[in-house]
Amino acid sequence: MKIVIGGDSGYDMHFKEIGDSFGPIDLAILENGQYDPQWKYIHLAPEEVLMAAKDLKAKRVFPVHNSKFKMANHAWDDPMRKVTEFNKSYGIPRLAPRIGETVFLKDCNQLFSNWRETLS
C-alpha cells in the first residue's frame, strides 16, 4: 500500500508533487482540525484536506486531528462537519471512525457509523 501521513502541514504544491511522483496514493491520512487563517502554514482547513487528497491522487482520505477538543476559534466538531459537506463535491471515499474504533487500512469497504455527522 502507498500511504501518505501528512502531519501538520499547510496546503501547498508539495501534495501535488507527491501525487505526481508517487501516486496514486491508496490512503491519505491528513490532519483536519484546529485550523485558523493565522495557522495556514501548519494546519489544513477542511476543504484543503480534500484538495490535498485530490492532489495526492488519493483513493481514500482519513481526516485526523479533529473532534477531540477545541483549541482553535471554531467548534470542536466543525472540521469533520465541513470536510463531510465539502466532500459531497469531491467524492473521495472517507474514513471516519469513532475515536478508538479499529480501522482496517486495507479494507476499502469498511463502514463506519455516521456518529460525527449526527452530533448536535
pLDDT of 38 strictly over 70: yes
Of 33, 56, 53, 55, nearest in space to 44 by CA: 33
- Evaluated on CA atoms 38, 28, 100, 82, the torsion sign reads positive
Q: What is the pLDDT of residue 117?
A: 58
Confidence of residue 118 (pLDDT cuts 50, 70, 90): low
Chain CA centroid to CA 20, Å: 19
Q: Each residue of 54-107: pLDDT tens digit?
A: 999 999 999 998 877 777 888 888 888 899 999 999 999 999 888 888 999 999
